Every structure is written in structure tokens, then in C-alpha cells.
Homo-oligomer: A and B are copies of this chain.
Amino acid sequence: MYDVAIIGSGPAGISAAINLKILGKNFIWLSSRASSKKVNQAPLIKNYPGLPDVTGSELAWTFQNHIDGMNIRICEKVVTGVYDTDGKFTLLAGEEQYEAKTVILCTGAETGKSLENEDSFVGRGVSYCATCDGFLYRDKIIGVLCTDKKFEHEVEFLADLSKKAYIFPMYQGYEIKSQKAEIILKNPVKISGGMKIEKVHYKGGEVQVDGLFILKGAISPATLVHGLATDGGHIMVKRDLSTNIAGIFAAGDCTGAPYQYAKSVGEGNVAAHSAVEYLSKHK
């Protein structure tokens, strides 16, 4: 059993991990993507104190260096559910299961609405992680909903591996080169099927698939943790970054605007300290 599970590898997760390492806690850090792969496309960040005029990818690189230097590792898994079981938390990530005394949610800003039935097909054909689950769909027919250009390398990885891939790029200026990709410029709205996913429906049509990958910044926190209080898609937190569920903390964009590196890093720090304080009170 871990003291803490951190979910998400943006600046808040990085800051939380650094502090937990220094504070000597036994923690696991789960994320759909290694931080270094989250190549940020911000052209220039001028307001991260101490690192003037860095690009998003430079900042990501310095953060990565920091955690590498401290021997902190990210476990590349997508957590699809967090369950409160008898004073501890069980985290589901595909076939794996993890237990932790506290959880820090650093899942980022929610991007876009969920599809109709999305929740009910998680683990039954709906996946959020290309590298985790891609191999399950070798030579099969897949759908890929991609919300951001920065995930295009994952789209191509999935398309190349598939028999055929229906790609729904939800942004301007897509450049997807795979021979197996068929681009559909409509918004998917619904999933249907029986025990497993069968179809993705979009305005004016549908496609038959064996699986659907949804590549977006974050899973909805309310989907992730049953009973978590949210407001307008943001996790409601107190000043110490505790949520309405004792033992669960949140930090970064998932707690609301402003969406800023400095704010996320500060909150990751506070959440880590609050989790440690919670642990010392609940031995």
C-alpha cells in the first residue's frame, strides 16, 4: 500500500512528486503520458519566476531533468476509477490495481464534453492511453478522437498498428500521415454496443469499430472519482487543496483557473504537504 498516489504528470503532479520524494513518502505516480511526451506548444512563457522566456518544451525539459535527477519515475498507466474502500483508496488502471492511503488528483483542465455512453464503455473498448492499450487493437478497426495536435504522434502510432483507423481530429490544422487513417471531420457524439463497443456515432453517420481511443488532456474528475464535488467541471477544493472526500487532494488546472504553470506548481507543493499532514494524523 502506497502512502500517496498522484494522478497526472503536468506541473502540479511534478511539484507534488518532488515534494513527496523529499518528504520520504512511499508514493506511486500514474499518468497516461510521461511528462516529457507532453510537449507543450506554448511559444513563450514569460511568467514562471526564475526561468524567463522559456518555451513550453524547454520548461517541460527542465521539469523532466529535475525529476530525473531525483530518480522519480512515472508509471505510464491510465487510471479509470478511484474507489474509497474502508479508509484506503483503490485505483483501477486497466488490468492493474493500486492501493493508496491518499490520492492527489492532478488531472488537468477538462477538455471537451464526454460522449454519450462514454462512461459505460470505459474498459469495454474505450481507452484513453495509446501506449497502454494500443497493442490490444493490432490489426483491428479503431476510432481515435484526438482533441489536440500535440497528441498526433499517438494518433499515428495507433493508426499504423491498426487495420483501419477512423480519426476524428477536434482541432484545426491536423497533419496525420498514416496510410490506414481515414479522417472524419464531424464531431462524434455517442458510443453504442453491447458488452463491447460496436459503433461510434457522429452527426450524419456512424462507423463500426473494435475500440475507441479518446486522446485528450484529462478524464473528467467526476467520472474518475465517484462522489467528488465539482463545480463547472472543476474539483472543489479548500485552501489546503483537500476535496470533499477525506484523503483526496487536488492540484493544478483541475481545480480551476487561472491555468498557469506557477499556480499548478504551487498547488502541487501545497497538496503534497497537506497529504503528508493527513497521513501523520491518520496513522
Contacts and interface: CB of A to CB of B under 8 A. Distances in A.
Interface of A: 11, 14-15, 18-19, 22, 46-53, 59, 62-63, 65-66, 69-70, 237, 239, 256-258, 260, 262-270, 273
A39 to B, nearest CB: 16
Given A262-B15, A266-B267, A269-B260, A59 B52 contact: no
10 contacts: A15-B49, A49-B63, A49-B66, A49-B268, A51-B51, A52-B66, A239-B239, A258-B270, A260-B273, A262-B265
Contacts of A69: 52-53
B273 A49 contact: no
Given A18-B47, A50-B66, A269 B273 contact: no
Instruction: Report which residue of A19, A59, A69 has the largest number of chain B beta carbons within 10 angstroms of its beta carbon.
Output: A19
Contacts of A263: 266, 269-270
Nearest to A65: B52
Nearest to A58: B50
Contact of A266 (B19, B63, B264): B264
A49 B70 CA distance: 11
A265 B267 CA distance: 10
A63 B50 CA distance: 5
